[in-house]
Structure 1
Amino acid sequence: MLIALRDAFAGNGELTERQGAVVLFASGTVFSLTAISLAGVEDASDFQFLTYRGASTALAMLVLIVARRGGRPVSFAGVTRTVWLAGATLAVTSMLYILALSRTTAATTVFLLAAAPIFAAVIGWLVLRERVERSTIVAMSVTAIGVTITVGAGLDVGSVTGLLFAAGIPVTVGLYSVLMRSVSGVDPVVPALIAGSLLALGSAVVSIATDGLAVSPRDAVLACVSGGFALGVGLPLFNLGHRSVAAARVPLLLMSEVVLAPIWVWIWPGQAPSVATLIGGAIILGAVAWLVLVSHDAPDTAPSSRVPAIPLD
Structure 2
Amino acid sequence: MLRATRDAFVGDGSLTERQGAVLVAGSGVMFSLTAIAHAAVEDASDFQFLTYRGLSTTAAMLALVALRRRHRPVVLTGVTAVTWVASCLLAGTSMLYILALSRTSAATTLFLLAAAPIVAALLGWVWLGERVVRSTLTAIAVTAVGVGITVGAGLEVGSAVGLALAGLIPVTVGTYSVLMRSASQVDPVVPTLIAGSVLGVGATIVALGQGGIVVSLRDAALACTSGGVALGFGLPMFNLGHRSVAAARVPLLLMTEVVLAPLWVWIWPGEVPSPATLVGGAVILGAVVWLMLGSHPDAPVAAPSSPVPLVPDDA
TM range (shorter): over 0.9
Q: Deviations over 1:207-263 (max 9, x none)?
A: 001121111110000000000000000000000000000000000000000100000
The TM-score, its normalising length taken from structure 1, stands at 0.97
Residue in structure 2 matched with residue 172 of structure 1 by the alignment: 172
Once residues 211 and 121 of structure 1 are traced to their aligned partners in structure 2, the CA distance between those partners, rounded to angstroms, is: 42
Q: What is the rounded CA distance, in whole Å, between the counterparts of 2:20 and 2:235 in structure 1?
A: 13
Q: In the TM superposition, what are the counterparts of 1:293-308 in structure 2 within 5 Å?
A: 293-301=293-301, 303-304=302-303, 306-308=304-306
In the alignment, the residues of structure 1 paired with residue 129 and residue 308 of structure 2 have an alpha-carbon distance, to the nearest angstrom, of: 11
| Equivalent in the alignment of 1:88 | 88
Which residue of structure 2 lines up, in the alignment, with residue 241 of structure 1?
A: 241
- What aligned pairs does 1:112-191 form with structure 2 within 5 A after superposition? 112-191=112-191
In structure 1, what is the equivalent of residue 313 of structure 2? none
Cα drift, residue 13 of structure 1 = 1.3
**Preserved contact between residue 50 and residue 200 of structure 1 (Cα < 8 Å):** yes
Aligned-pair RMSD on alpha carbons?
0.9
1:254 maps to 254
Does structure 2 conserve the Cα–Cα contact (< 8 Å) formed by 1:82 and 1:310? no
Structure 1 gap segments, 5+ residues each? none
Offset of 1:266 from its aligned partner? 0.3
Local SS of the residue matching 1:70: coil
Distance 1:184 1:222 in 2: 32
CA distance in 2, matches of 1:294, 1:101: 33
What corresponds to 2:78 in structure 1?
Answer: 78
2:24 touches 2:241 (CA, 8 Å); kept in 1? yes
Task: Give the TM-score normalised by the residue count of structure 2.
Answer: 0.97
Partners of 2:157 and 2:6 lie apart in 1 by: 42
**Equivalences for 1:220-299 in 2 at 5 Å?**
220-299=220-299
Q: Is the 8 A contact 1:14 1:299 kept in 2?
A: no
| Residue of structure 2 equivalent to 1:196 | 196
Is 2:38 the partner of 1:38?
A: yes
Aligned residues: 309
SS in 2 for 1:69: coil
Is contact 1:146–1:279 with CA below 8 Å preserved after alignment?
yes
Q: Which runs of 4+ in 1 moved over 6 A?
A: none
Deviations 1:87-141 (A, max 9, x none): 0000000000000011110000000000000000111111111100110000000
Q: Which runs of 5+ in 2 are unaligned?
A: 310-315
Determine helix, strand or coil for the equivalent of 1:184.
coil
TM superposition shift of 1:310: 7.2
Letter in 2 for 1:245: V
Residues 1:60 and 2:64 are matched in the alignment: no
Per-residue deviation, 1:12: 1.1
Distance 2:273 2:38 in 1: 17
**What does residue 19 of structure 1 align with?**
19
1:195 Cα offset (Å) = 0.3
